[in-house]
Amino acid sequence: MSPVSTRREGEILIVISDNPPVNALGHAVRKGLADAIGEASRDEGIKAVVIRCEGRTFFAGADITEFGKPLQEPGLPQVVDMIEKSAKPVVAAIHGTALGGGLEVALGCHYRVAVPSAKLGLPEVKLGILPGAGGTQRLPRVVGVEAALPMIVKGDPISASQAKEIGLVDEIVADQGLEEAAIHYAQQVIGKTPPRTGERTDRLSVDDSVFEDFKQKNARRLRGYEAPLACIEAVRAAIELPLEEGLKKERELFMKLVAGEQSAALRHVFFAERQASKIDDVPKDTPLIPIEKVGILGAGTMGGGIAMNFLSAGIPVTMLEREQGPLDRGTGIMRKNYEATAKKGRMTDEQVEKAMGLLTPTLDMNDLGDCDLIIEAVFEDMDIKKDVFGKLDAVAKDGAILASNTSYLNIDEIASATKRPESVIGLHFFSPANVMRLLEIVRGEKTSDSVLATAMKLSKTIRKVAVVSGVCFGFIGNRMLAPRQAEANNLMLEGAKPWDIDRVLVEFGMPMGPFQMADLAGLDIGWNKEKSSSSTIREVLCERDRRGQKTGAGFYDYDENRRGTPSKEVEEVIASFAEKSGREQRQIGDQEILERLLYPMVNEGAKILEEGIAQRSSDIDIVWINGYGWPPYTGGPMFWAERRGLKTVLDGLEKHKPHLSDDFEISGLLRRRAEAGEGFGG
Ligand code: 3HC
Ligand code: NAI
C-alpha cells in the first residue's frame, strides 16, 4: 500500500504522507506524491492542493538509506518540479521538521504554512552533500542570498517564527488544526496564478563580496570539509544562472559529493550516532527510574559543568562540597558561564535566573538523601572515591543511582564500597562538561539494566551523545589516547619536533595536537614539585616553570594572546634527553608521524572491540568524534582505518614496530580481520 493517500475536501485535494518514523522521501513516497499531483491536475473539480504528513513530522528529508543505490524513478527533483509546475496552487502544511528534501518539497509548493513548533532547514551539508532537489536554487529565491547561505552552508534549522520573518513561511497557524488552517489558506488562493519560486528573481541581487565574507567568517568551522564549498558554489549559481542551468549545476555537485569519501563518512556518523544509543542486551521495555532531582559531589571543573547540563534541562541539582570556599567558587563559575551565554544572545536573563534558581549548594551530605541520581566528581583517587561512595551508600535513598565521573578508575572497585553495586555506574563527561557532547556510560559488572537504560535515556534529556563502555583503564576514549601519547613522545625522542607532530594532526583535521593539548591543560597535572626529579621532559619543563599556557610557556612559547611559537629552550631540553636515551636521531616524515600516531589508536580500538569493552566499532568512532574532535568527515578512527584497508594499517604497524613502545602488541582481531580482507563489522 502506498504511504501517500489523498482525500477530497470540497475543491481541495489533501495529500497525506504516512511513512514513519520521519516521513523520509523514499521511492514509495516520491511516487505517491507524483501520482497525487497527477490526480490533482487531471481532476477538474480540484482547484488547489494541500500536502501534509501524518506522525511526528513533515518530510525530514530524502531517505538516506537509498544513497549509493540505483535511483528508482521518480527522483526527488522531478517530484519538486511537478509540484512547482502544477497549474493549481499547492500549499505545504508543515509540522515537526521540514528538513533537506522535505524543505525542498515545501519550496516547490506555492505556499507554506507552519505550526509555531516547526523547524525548517537544509542539513544536507552535515551529511557531506548539498541539497540536491533544488534547495540551493530555490531557497535564495525565496529568502535572499544572505539568509539562505548560512542555512545551506552550515545546515542548522531555523524556527517557524524565524522562517516567517525571512519569508520562508507564509503563515504561522495554531498547533492544533494545521490541516484545517492549510485548507482555509488554500481556499483563499483558489483561482490565483500559483507563484512559482523558480521564476522569482526579485531577491537574487547581491554583492559578490557576500560569498568571500561568508567563507572568511566561517573558515574555522568549514576547515577540511568539501561540501560547504560546493554549497557556496551552488548558491552562486543561483544568482548567476537561470533556474534550469542552476539546477543542473546543483545536480552535478550533488552527484560528485554523494559518491565521495566525506559523504560516506558523514552518513556513517549519522547512523552510528543513532546506533550508539542502543544497548544490545538490554530489553527495550526495561523499566526506567524517574530522575527528578540530581546530586553532585564536587564543585570543581567537572562538577560545575555537569550540574549545568541538568539545570539547563530544568532538573534541580543539589551540589555538595567539602568547604564553603570551593563551593562558592564553583557556583560562581557556573553563573559566569551562564551569563556569558546570555551575553551572546543564546539565553535570556530569565533563563539564567531560572537555571541558577534550581541549584542548591550545600556542605551537608544528608542533603543528597532525596536525589534520584548522584554523580561524584571529586579528586581522581581510588581511596577518596571509595570513601565517598561508602558515605553516599549511607545517605542515598533506596533505588537512587550512584554515578562516578572518574576518567580512568575501576567502577567495579568503586561499587564494592557500597552495598548496592547494581545501582553504581560510570558517567564520564568530557571537559568542558556543559559544552562537550560526549558521555561515556560505563557499565559495571553488576550495574542493573534499569540503571543503564535510565542513564541512556537521561543522556538525551541533557542532549548528550552517549556511548556505553565496559570497565577498563581509561574506558574507550582515554584508553585509545594513551598509545597516541606514547608514540608522540617516542617520535619526539627520535627527532620529530613537537610542533611538527602537532601540525600533522591538525592537518589531518584534529583541533590540536598532543603537545598543544598538554600546554592547554597544564603540564603540571599530577606533577609534584617536591618529588620532581627531572626524569621526563615534562618534569624538566615544569621545573623550569614552563607549565603550559597559563605560565606563558610549555612545549611552546606563548604571547599575550596565547599564540604559541616553537621554543629553542624546549628543543635543547629534548636534545639532551634524546642523547641520554641513546635513540638514533633522524628526519621523520609527516606520513610516518601520522601512521605512528593513528595506527596504534586503531590497534587499541580493535582490542577494545575484542574485549567487548565497546559494543561495536562505530561506537568508538562516536567517542572520538564527540569527545576528542576527531574530524567527522573521516568517519572516526575505525571507519577511517577500514576505508584505508585494515591490511594497510596492519602492514604499517609491522613496519613501524621496531620504533614503537616496547609493550606494543598488535591486536589479534585486527590481524585476523586484515588478513581476511574484512572490516570491523559495524
Ligand atoms: N533517511 C532515513 N532514515 C532516517 C532519516 C532519513 N532522512 N532521518 C531519520 N531517519 C531514521 C533514523 O536513522 C532513526 O532510525 P532508527 O530508529 O532505526 O535508529 C529514525 O529515523 C528516527 O530518527 P532519530 O532517532 O534521529 O529521531 P529524532 O526524533 O531524534 O530526530 C530528525 C528526528 C530531526 C528528523 C532527525 O532524524 C534528523 O535530523 N534526520 C535527518 C535529517 C536530514 O539530514 N535530512 C536531509 C537528508 S538528505 C536530503 O534530503 C537530500 C536531498 O537534498 C536530495
Ligand atoms: P577538580 O579538582 O577541579 O574538582 C574536584 C572538587 O572536588 C574540588 O572542588 C574538591 O574540593 C571537591 N572534593 C574533593 N573531595 C570531596 C568530598 N569528599 N566531598 C565533596 N567535594 C569534594 O577536579 P575535576 O577536574 O573536576 O575532576 C573531578 C573528577 O572528574 C575526577 O575523577 C577526574 O578524573 C574526572 N574528570 C576530569 C576531567 C577534566 O578534564 N578535568 C574530564 C573528565 C573526568
Q: Is 377 in the pocket of ligand 2 (CB under 6 A)?
A: yes
Q: Same domain, yes or no, for 429 and 535?
A: no
pLDDT exceeds cutoff 80 at 388: yes
Into how many domains does the chain fold?
Answer: 4
When pLDDT is averaged across residues 247-261 and rounded to a whole number, the result is 97
Confirm whether 145 is domain-assigned. yes
Q: Same domain, yes or no, for 636 and 670?
A: yes
Confirm whether 467 is domain-assigned. yes
Q: Same domain, yes or no, for 344 and 446?
A: yes
Position in ligand 1 atom list of the atom nearest CA 99: 45
Q: Which residues lie closer than 8 Å to 235 by C-beta, 6 or more apart?
A: 136, 140, 145, 148, 149, 152, 153, 211
Please tell me which residue, 350 or 208, carries the higher pLDDT value. 350
Q: Is 62 in the pocket of ligand 1 (CB under 6 A)?
A: yes
Confirm whether 540 is domain-assigned. yes
Asked whether 552 and 544 are in contact (CB, 8 A), the reply is no
- DSSP state string for 163-220: HHHTTS-SEE--STTHHHHHHHHHHHHTTSPP--GGG--TT----THHHHHHHHHTHH
Asked whether 104 and 75 are in contact (CB, 8 A), the reply is no
Q: Are β-strands 401-404 and 97-99 bridged in parallel, bridged antiparallel, or unpaired?
A: unpaired
The residue out of 564, 581, 598 marking a domain boundary is 581
Q: Same domain, yes or no, for 512 and 546?
A: yes
d(CA 480, CA 659): 19
Confirm whether 85 is domain-assigned. yes
Mutate to test the pocket of ligand 1, among 56, 64, 79 (most ligand atoms within 8 A of CB): 64
pLDDT at residue number 590: 98
Q: Same domain, yes or no, for 239 and 311?
A: no
Mutate to test the pocket of ligand 2, among 323, 327, 378 (most ligand atoms within 8 A of CB): 378
pLDDT at residue number 205: 85
Confirm whether 228 is domain-assigned. yes
Task: Give kind and range of the element (H or E) at residue 39.
Answer: helix 27-42
**In this structure, what CATH number is given to the domain that contains residue 668?**
1.10.1040.10
Q: Is 390 in the pocket of ligand 2 (CB under 6 A)?
A: no
Q: Same domain, yes or no, for 504 and 652?
A: no
Place of cell 580493535: 606
The residue out of 531, 549, 581 marking a domain boundary is 581
d(CA 383, CA 389): 10
Structural domain span for residue 462: 294-473
What is the pTM assigned to this prediction?
0.95
Span 12-37, pLDDT tens digits: 999 999 999 999 999 999 999 999 99
Q: Same domain, yes or no, for 570 and 615?
A: no
pLDDT exceeds cutoff 80 at 682: no
Span 618-658, pLDDT tens digits: 999 999 999 999 999 999 999 999 999 999 999 999 999 99
pLDDT exceeds cutoff 90 at 175: no
pLDDT exceeds cutoff 90 at 123: yes
Confirm whether 205 is domain-assigned. yes
Q: Same domain, yes or no, for 550 and 642?
A: no
Position in ligand 2 atom list of the atom nearest CA 303: 26
The residue out of 538, 559, 581 marking a domain boundary is 581
Confirm whether 400 is domain-assigned. yes
Q: Which residues lie closer than 8 Å to 366 by C-beta, 6 or more apart?
A: 395
**In this structure, what CATH number is given to the domain that contains residue 514?**
1.10.1040.50
Whole-number CA gyration radius for the chain: 28
When pLDDT is averaged across residues 47-56 and rounded to a whole number, the result is 98
Q: Same domain, yes or no, for 328 and 187?
A: no
Q: Same domain, yes or no, for 559 and 454?
A: no
Span 576-611, pLDDT tens digits: 999 888 888 899 999 999 999 999 999 999 999 999
pLDDT exceeds cutoff 80 at 156: yes
Confirm whether 357 is domain-assigned. yes
Task: Please provide the size of the chain in residues.
Answer: 682
Q: Same domain, yes or no, for 345 and 459?
A: yes
Q: How far is the CA of 99 from the centre of ligand 1 (A)?
A: 9
Q: Same domain, yes or no, for 508 and 621?
A: no
Span 458-470, pLDDT tens digits: 999 999 999 999 9
d(CA 495, CA 588): 7
**In this structure, what CATH number is given to the domain that contains residue 405?**
3.40.50.720
**In this structure, what CATH number is given to the domain that contains residue 32?**
3.90.226.10
pLDDT band at 525 (very low <50, low <70, confident <90, very high): confident
pLDDT at residue number 208: 84
Angle (nearest 5°) at CA 458 between 456 and 461? 125
